[in-house]
Amino acid sequence: MASAALPSKTRNFDLNIDKILEGWEPKHAVRELIANALDEQILTGTPGIEIKKDPRGNWHIRDSGRGLRYEDLTQNENPEKLKNAGKVIGKFGIGLKDALATLNRRGIAVRVMSRHCTISLTRAAKHGFDDVITLQATIEPPTSATVGTDIELSGLADSEIEAAKEFFLCFSGERLLDETQYGQILERRPHKSARIYVSGLLVAEEDRFAFSYNITSLTAAMRKALNRERTNVGRTAYSDRVKAMLLASTSEMVAELLAKDLTSIELGTQHDEVNWTDVTVHACQILNARKKVVFVSAAELSQSRNAVDHAVSDGYDVVTVPDNVRRLLAGTTDLNGKPVRDLAVYQQEWNDSFEFKFVGRDRLTKAEQVTFDQWKSIVDLVGGLPKNVREVKISETMRPDFSTGQ
């Protein structure tokens, strides 16, 4: 912020706005004030903001930053905020002015206090045009050496404060599941819609998503879509970033929830993330690296029942996936570079893990030797040994046949 002399007398600063955004409610205006306070906290590395009610019943939104100046009421691009895109919410002076106009229109008195000045609102004739009445900020000398900026709101209902806080991730209580270079994957709140945040500010809600998301790396499409309303941003603007987060995730919990969702596809009750095939395959790769799992199709689950039972008895979790995902998993590797375990891979691992402990004829008792020596006569009864069998041995360890279970 540029330095300026403290105001020595009361002056009016024309905000050059009148009745705009009439659809905004007080909660939308308070949202902008909270967003500005949070941005200042991030940019200055100062303690967290305060939102509290004073004994007179007035609400205060306060940060511990550099303090608002009347120059900050000028609408322009903020180079500091543009430089920290992804960390802060705002970038223009639009939000603050819109908030002031909305609160004034709704009959809520505003007083902004900092060590630089005290600002309140009035409606007055535009300089040089006595017939044009506009909203103006009354700039007065500071009343105290206030730390940061303290915005006092008189006549604001408690419900509007709570509704405004609902727009922000930091007040939502949503649990972080994974963090990627594109943003954060969050646990969806029970019985609530999934939420899409951009730099911690709510921009959309999704009934069909399994998770909530906080996008911190914005695409050009997203920047364009973030209009002054800040909400009701279309899915096409953020779906690429949501998908990128899921593909960059290494969280076992995220993968498990997506894999569990696969069983709902046949019922049509799955969440929309599993409709992205590459996301589903990636989730399977995570699970393969983190847990003992075997991936099978619905057909294999019934047609290869003995093999599936083998896997279960060996301590593996069987994950049923759609046929197209099952085909894509064949021959792929997981995050550790090991083959993703379908039934064929499991059988190979099963075979490789087994070790015969052969017993030589000389270690048998006389009676056992007599019995063993009958093998030639026995195999002759069935036409001799199969061509792929070269000899018959005795082993202390045996395993049932993988396919038949016998």
* pLDDT tens for each residue of the chain, 406 residues long: 445 556 667 888 888 776 666 778 999 999 999 999 999 999 999 999 999 999 999 999 999 999 999 888 876 556 566 565 655 665 544 578 889 999 999 999 999 999 999 999 998 888 778 878 888 999 999 988 889 999 999 999 999 999 999 999 999 989 999 999 999 999 999 999 999 999 899 999 999 999 999 999 988 777 777 755 566 688 888 999 999 999 999 999 999 999 888 878 777 888 999 999 999 999 999 999 999 999 999 899 888 888 898 899 989 999 989 899 999 999 999 999 999 999 989 888 877 777 778 888 888 898 988 898 888 888 888 888 888 888 888 887 776 655 555 5
Which tokens in the block code for residue 2? 């540029």
CA distance 243 to 196: 13
Residue 327: how many CB atoms within 10 A of its CB?
Answer: 12
- Give the angle subtended at the CA of 305 by the CAs of 304 and 311, to the nearest 5°: 95
In angstroms, rounded to a whole number, what is the distance separating the alpha carbons of residues 263 and 253?
A: 16
pLDDT at res. 340: 95
- Domain spans, the chain: 11-165, 169-248, 252-353, 358-395
Q: Is 103 exposed, middle or buried (0-12, 13-18, 19+ CB in 10 A)?
A: buried
pLDDT value at residue 339: 94
Query: According to the model, what pLDDT value does residue 108 have?
Result: 96
Three-state secondary-structure class, residue 170: helix
pLDDT digits (tens, 9 = 90+) for 274-314: 999 999 999 999 999 999 999 999 899 888 888 898 899 98
Concatenating the DSSP letter of every residue in 154-211 gives ES--HHHHHHHHTTBGGGT-PPEEEEETTEEEEEPPTTS-EEEEETTEEEEEESS-SE
Angle at 223 between CA 222 and CA 229, to 5 degrees: 90
Q: Which residue has the tokens 């004994």?
A: 55
CA distance 164 to 157: 11
User: Helix or strand or coil: residue 130?
Assistant: strand
Residue 37 φ then ψ, to 5°? -65, -40
Q: What is the pLDDT of residue 1?
A: 46
Name the residue with tokens 């929830």. Answer: 257
What pLDDT is stored for residue 401 in this prediction?
57
Helix/strand/coil percent split, the chain, to 5:
35, 20, 40
Question: CB–CB of 56/109 below 8 Å?
Answer: no
How far apart CA 139 and CA 121 sit, in angstroms, is: 9
Structure-block tokens of residue 69: 């100046």
Give residue 149's identity as a one-letter amino acid code. Answer: T
Note the pLDDT of residue 77.
Answer: 56
Cα–Cα–Cα angle for 179, 182, 184, nearest 5°?
35
Predicted local confidence at residue 21, as pLDDT? 63
Nearest to 110 by CA among 99, 126, 95, 94: 99
- The DSSP bridge pattern shows strands 118-126 and 109-114 to be antiparallel
Predicted local confidence at residue 64, as pLDDT:
95
Bridge partners, 183 (sequence order): 180, 215
> Which residue is it, tokens 């599993």?
274
What type of residue is 216?
T
Token pair of 85 as six digits: 């895109």
Round to whole Å and give the CA distance between 231 and 238: 13
d(CA 204, CA 194): 9
Place of tokens 């002056």: 11
Contacts of 260 (CB under 8 A, 6+ apart): none
pLDDT for the residue numbered 45: 93
| C-beta of residue 169 within 8 angstroms of C-beta of residue 197 | yes
89-43-142 Cα angle (round to 5): 100
